[in-house]
Structure formats: structure tokens, C-alpha cells
Amino acid sequence: MIPKNYTEFEKTLTLSSPSKDWPDGLKALWFDAKGDWEASHDIAQEMHDSLGSWIHAYLHRKEGDRFNAGYWYSKANRSYPNSTLEEELRYIVEYVLE
């Protein structure tokens, strides 16, 4: 079942894996929230749309690679954020759940 909001998303982090019926973007964000950057990145780089580029940008920002993150933010038609990583994660999750 797909979470209805960020609070419900956070509650799923106690599970061992995301639900198979979730969209790829939500799965990628779930793996990142669980601390598995690699699994999240693997999913995001296979998403050939603006959401995939946005998640990819966020992940490279988290990694500390500002140049690579900037490239992916531009591919996603988004500016480099001033928010914290935690705020951005929440914002992207909420965007996916809309």
C-alpha cells in the first residue's frame, strides 16, 4: 500500500523492503531514507524522467558532489536548493505522494 503522506512513509522505514507496488521514485527515496545510497542511486539512474533526475541530483548533493548534483538539477529543471537534505527528502517524497 502506498503511504498517504510523509508520516506514513516514515513508518514504512521499519520494514525490510519497500512495497513492490510502489512507483520507482518512492522506492528510491525509501532506500535513501534507510541509508542505502547505492540502491537508491541504482533506481534513480534508471528513471529517465524529471523525477529521476531530481532524485539523482538530491543523491549527488547528499554525496557532496556539487558539480554532478548541479548537472542533474538542471536536467530536472530545478534550481540548486538551499534547504537541508532532510527537508529536500521530505519535499520529494511529498511530491511523489501527491
Q: What three-state secondary structure class fits 21?
A: coil
DSSP-assigned letters across all residues of 52-95: HHHHHHHHHHHHT-HHHHHHHHHHTT-PPP-S-HHHHHHHHHHH
Query: Tell me: the pLDDT tens digits for 49-83?
Result: 999 999 999 999 999 999 999 999 999 999 999 99
The pLDDT score that the predictor gives to residue 16 is 96
The pLDDT score that the predictor gives to residue 75 is 97
Cell of 66: 556539487
Place of cell 532524485: 55
The model's pTM:
0.95
Nearest in space to 33 (alpha carbons), one of 49, 11, 57, 61: 11
Query: Tell me: the pLDDT tens digits for 33-51?
Result: 999 999 999 999 999 999 9
Domain range list for the chain? 23-97
